[in-house]
A and B are shown apart, each in its own frame.
Chain A
Amino acid sequence: DGGITQSPKYLFRKEGQNVTLSCEQNLNHDAMYWYRQDPGQGLRLIYYSQIVNDFQKGDIAEGYSVSREKKESFPLTVTSAQKNPTAFYLCASSMLGLGMGQPQHFGDGTRLSIL
């Protein structure tokens, strides 16, 4: 079955530590996205990528980094510069990019907490 796999489901970060969240899709989608969701809040865009080796910042990119070396993979690194990383992180993909009116398909999310 095609879909998006995020791992791990739960992640704990120590102060000063970088952590990487994995996102893999086998839907052959061109575009991939990372969102952050805080309790009781909506989704805010961190980064998105419409093609391999290219990505753009969303509204809350500070303290995060991404790479898109393969079409199927879009890992997110939460760096030590992100002072409030505790949140639910969702990865999504769509067949085409932002302007093309395609639905986004989501992974099951990674819940990140500070130790």
Chain B
Amino acid sequence: QQPVQSPQAVILREGEDAVINCSSSKALYSVHWYRQKHGEAPIFLMILLKGGEQKGHDKISASFNEKKQQSSLYLTASQLSYSGTYFCGTRGNQFYFGTGTSLTVIP
């Protein structure tokens, strides 16, 4: 039941945009997004609780398509601080984190 993320890895130059996708074979009841820097704890970014919901703060936003069982995370005008591994997470009969997307922003 682990959600699948794509792409697995992406390298961006500062100022470029990126989209990270999270797909589940099971129904998605809510979607969490976290960012983890190497060797550190994951940091919560946002939760989307219902289909059609979109959220964002600063230049990071996300959408949730309940019918397609997908969520996408949008990073615009990327900054060096955006580098890290991004995980989606979703509730099934327990909580499942996605496979992860490694994002590297270079000057």
Interface residues of A (CB under 8 A from B): 33, 35, 41-45, 48, 56, 58-59, 88, 90, 98-99, 101-109
**Would B42 and A59 count as touching, CB distance under 8 A?**
no
Do residues A101 and B49 form an inter-chain contact, with CB atoms below 8 A?
yes
In the complex, 13 of the A-B residue pairs with CB atoms within 8 angstroms, ordered by the A residue number, are A43-B42, A43-B97, A56-B94, A59-B94, A88-B39, A98-B94, A99-B91, A101-B30, A104-B32, A104-B34, A108-B41, A109-B39, A109-B41
| Contacting pair A42 B100 (CB below 8 A) | yes
Residues of chain B having any CB pair with chain A under 8 Å? 2, 29-30, 32, 34, 39-44, 47, 49, 87, 89, 91, 94-100
Q: Name the CB-closest residue of A to B32.
A: A103
| Residues of chain B within 8 A of A35, CB atoms compared | 97
**Closest chain B residue, CB of each to CB of A107:** B41
Q: Is the interface of A mostly helix, strand, loop or mixed?
A: mixed
Residues of A within 8 A of B87 (CB): 42-43
**B99–A45 touching, CB < 8 Å:** no
B41/A42 in contact, CB under 8 A: no
Q: What B residues does A41 contact at CB under 8 A?
A: 100
Contact residue among B2, B44, B49, B94 (Cβ-Cβ distance under 8 Å from A104): B44
Are B44 and A103 in contact, CB atoms less than 8 angstroms apart? yes
Q: Are B95 and A33 in contact (CB under 8 A)?
A: yes
Nearest-neighbour CB distance to chain B for A8, whole angstroms, equals 15
CA distance A56 to B39 in the complex (A): 27
Bound: A45/B90 CA distance, A: 12
Q: Which residues from A are CB-within-8-Å of B49? A: 101
In the complex, the answer to whether A45 meets B41 with C-beta atoms within 8 Å is no
CA distance A33 to B34 in the complex (A): 16
Q: Across the interface, do B40 and A108 meet the contact criterion of CB distance under 8 Å? A: yes
Q: Give complex CA distance A106, B97 in Å.
A: 14
Q: In the bound complex, how far is the Cα of B40 from the Cα of A109, in angstroms?
A: 7
